[in-house]
Structure 1
Amino acid sequence: MPRVLVNMPTQYGGRPSGVALVAFRVIAGLLDRGTFAVVLRSPWTRDQLPPAIRDRVEVVTVPRPRIMLFDVVRQAVAVPKLCRALNVDLVLNADPYGAAFGARARVSVVHDLYFRTMPGRSRSREALTTDPIFRFVLANSARVITVSESTKTDLCRFYPFVRNRTHAVPSAAMLDPEAYDPAPDLPAGPFVLAVGNAMYNKNFPTLARAVAALDRPEIGIVHVGEDPDEAIATALDDAPVRLTRLSRISEGRLAALYRNALCLCVPSFSEGFCLPVLEAQALGCPVICSDRSATPEIAGAGALTFAPADAGALAACLTRLLDEPGLRTALIARGHDNVRRYDWAETARRYEALMLDALRDAARAQPAQEVPRAHPAP
């Protein structure tokens, strides 16, 4: 059985980011398929891993690097040595901040290109270091996986040398639709739900301005995530809109918020995939989302869309949802149909196929070795 090293040094141990959660789901799917044995190299310890994979993988715990560029250079030496010691056949980099060398082949996953798609918002140091990292690691990857067709388009536009070996493999909903909290402590009154940390790409101030423009004080906003700069409250500018801030809540409470929200709003300027869209659709929550990057692709027909810089357009979508009979029911039905297009078992199957392709290519590229002092052919 071939052995794959899932290489994920950039994530914080015990803190499940989107990258880590996708990696864990892919690992579980690969193990269920039984084609690969898995070694996980990351800052996570065995005890911190999800139960679905905790006792099924070999664990190599490494400290999270402080300077990514230096660590990528270090991995170019350290990971090949580890692969030889553990008889690893293939390296799967969970993101491009990984190993450019090691094993017989490498496959790398790209979740987003915010430093390219929103260059004005990236710190110059970040942009200057991230670009060479991407070029170095992707150039030495036999296959590149993106989480959406939108991200694939962006990647091939900025890095055309990977065009012929890049494949879009979507993720699926993370939240268990059966998750339940018997006492979820829901906010009073109807509310628009926003999920995610208030980074610039999320564009939550546009949501705040749109809800304020509705002039319907009964409609509140519930934000699940961190907002250290108070971007939402600042954009409300003392408008009489109820704002509820939540973070680090249970799956059951988040599921209850989805089930009871007027809608999920995703006003993002840029998204690599956007899991909350599928979580909302799986739980019968209508979706209103930006018409940019991956959000309309992932939401399919199960969403109303708007230009993310136009708070008036978003307000118009919210007004339609409030005032048009049958629209909410139609969006919920179309959302349920859409979310069925995404399945973790299929995601794992496609990862497996691309990894096996990379190993076959590596085998074909291996030159025939001469045998010393061989007898001449008759």
Structure 2
Amino acid sequence: MHILIAALHRPTKPTGVCRHAVNLAQCLVDTDQVTKVTLVVGAWQKDYFEKTFNLSSQKINLLSVDIKNSSVSRNLWFLFGLPKLAKQLHSNIVHLSFPLPFLRSLFPCPVVTTIHDLYPYEYPENFGYPNVIFNQLFLKQCINNSDGLSCVSKQTLEFLKIYFPHIEQRKKTTVVYNYVDFSQIKPRVPKNIESSINTPFLLAVAQHRKNKNLDILIQTYSLLLKNNQLKDSTKLILVGSSGPETENICHQIRTLSLEERVLMLSSIDDDELCWLYQNCELLVVPSSTEGFCLPLAEALYLSCKVVCSDIPIFREIGSSNCTYFELQNDSVENLSQAIIQCLAQPDSDYKYPDYSFSKSNAAYQYINFYSTLI
């Protein structure tokens, strides 16, 4: 089976979508059924895909498309260039690593799309107006044209059914969790914090978007310092690519005079991320909504303490292994108490055992799903 994975995307630095595409490729090539995976990216992505991710398998072919990195150029390529490529390569399945506009009639094989979330409907402010109108249109068009939809969580599938009633009667759907695999990773201190490696720190891994609620975390961190409920040397490290909330986050940090205490990182590799998980006091995930939240699963896999908002998706992933706080009422006070409670807990040797998040299980589920479509 030859799988073509479309990962051509606007960002010039690695994102969660990039990681999903690479993880998808890596789990598929571990199976006997898949003989080749073509991972398609933009020319502007090629360098960071090669340097940031492990693509050493001989079954994986990284193919870069040299087009202009603009909305018009990318969408035209999705509509006409991608199906042409699928024909040239004799692909058995085209897997879109995120929803994008395409014309099903032009493809010679089934098309599967990963649905990470329903943000264009749940959180339109993440995109702004009028951009969100196009995001909703492209998402709807992609869902209606796909042969199969792979949701990253049960919660995502439930939201899909809310916004697209009777979708399970019209399309083949499945839930395949993002997997966690640090078996080949060697932890390494991120370059930008080498001078701070001996100081304690809280960690958050999230793109700068409204639903991530990083403003609540920053307020809480400031309050804990002010009340002497954290060691004075404790820093806050925010890992994530810039987004609609970047300006507000930076303004908040300046307003609270936290410039020397809050470190902002982006585009770090898995070795550096692993070190941060293993050495932080705890990971904080204060989101209002998520499709899956890979950082939560990664942190638990590495026995990291986690404080997160009490929303259904986090209960689905974290079960009883997290300290939860309510976003309603006084979210800052609720989060501060949860952090204090979590820090007071003894360190655990707990190792995330859930097979649902394993690489082999993800591969098995994808192969089975593809088989129903071919």
TM-score by length of 2: 0.82
Partner residue, 1:234:
252
Matched residue type, 1:180: P
Partner residue, 2:187:
180
Partner residue, 1:255:
274
Query: SS of the counterpart of 1:298?
Result: helix
CA 1:116/1:317 → structure 2, altered by over 3 Å: closer, same or farther? same
Q: Does 1:62 align with 2:65?
A: yes
CA 1:124/1:254 → structure 2, altered by over 3 Å: closer, same or farther? same
In structure 2, C-alpha distance between the alignment counterparts of 1:47 and 1:210, rounded to whole Å:
34
Equivalent pair of 2:101/2:139 in contact (CA under 8 Å): no
Partner residue, 2:332:
311
Q: Does 1:19 align with 2:52?
A: no
Partner residue, 2:358:
343
CA 1:90/1:98 → structure 2, altered by over 3 Å: closer, same or farther? farther
Equivalent pair of 1:152/1:168 in contact (CA under 8 Å): yes
Equivalent pair of 1:225/1:247 in contact (CA under 8 Å): yes
Partner residue, 1:205:
215
Equivalent pair of 1:108/1:144 in contact (CA under 8 Å): yes
CA 1:254/1:166 → structure 2, altered by over 3 Å: closer, same or farther? same
Matched residue type, 2:133: L
Query: SS of the counterpart of 1:244?
Result: strand
Matched residue type, 1:357: T
1:277 aligned to 296, 307, 315, which one?
A: 296
In structure 1, C-alpha distance between the alignment counterparts of 2:60 and 2:28, rounded to whole Å:
11
Unaligned runs of 5+ in 2: none
In structure 1, C-alpha distance between the alignment counterparts of 2:129 and 2:48, rounded to whole Å:
38
Unaligned runs of 5+ in 1: 360-378
Of stretches 63-72 and 306-315 in structure 1, the one that deviates more from structure 2 is 63-72
Partner residue, 1:321:
342
RMSD of aligned C-alpha atoms?
Answer: 3.0
CA 1:266/1:40 → structure 2, altered by over 3 Å: closer, same or farther? same
CA 1:40/1:177 → structure 2, altered by over 3 Å: closer, same or farther? closer
1:28 aligned to 18, 26, 29, which one?
A: 26
Matched residue type, 2:357: Y
In structure 2, C-alpha distance between the alignment counterparts of 1:252 and 1:61, rounded to whole Å:
25
Q: Determine what percentage of the aligned residue pairs are the same residue.
A: 22
Q: How many residues are matched?
A: 351
User: How far 1:182 moved relative to its partner?
Assistant: 7.2
User: How far 1:350 moved relative to its partner?
Assistant: 0.8
Deviations 1:137-166 (A, max 9, x none): 221212100111111111121122423422
Partner residue, 1:128:
133
Equivalent pair of 1:306/1:313 in contact (CA under 8 Å): yes
Partner residue, 2:146:
141
In structure 1, C-alpha distance between the alignment counterparts of 2:323 and 2:266, rounded to whole Å:
26
Q: Does 1:196 align with 2:195?
A: no
CA 1:132/1:246 → structure 2, altered by over 3 Å: closer, same or farther? closer
TM-score by length of 1: 0.81
User: How far 1:96 moved relative to its partner?
Assistant: 1.2
1:35-114 matched pairs, under 5 angstroms: 35-36=33-34, 37-43=36-42, 44-45=45-46, 48-49=49-50, 50-53=53-56, 55-63=58-66, 66=69, 68=71, 71-72=74-75, 75-101=78-104, 102-114=107-119
In structure 1, C-alpha distance between the alignment counterparts of 2:353 and 2:68, rounded to whole Å:
39
Of stretches 244-253 and 87-96 in structure 1, the one that deviates more from structure 2 is 244-253
Equivalent pair of 1:302/1:338 in contact (CA under 8 Å): no
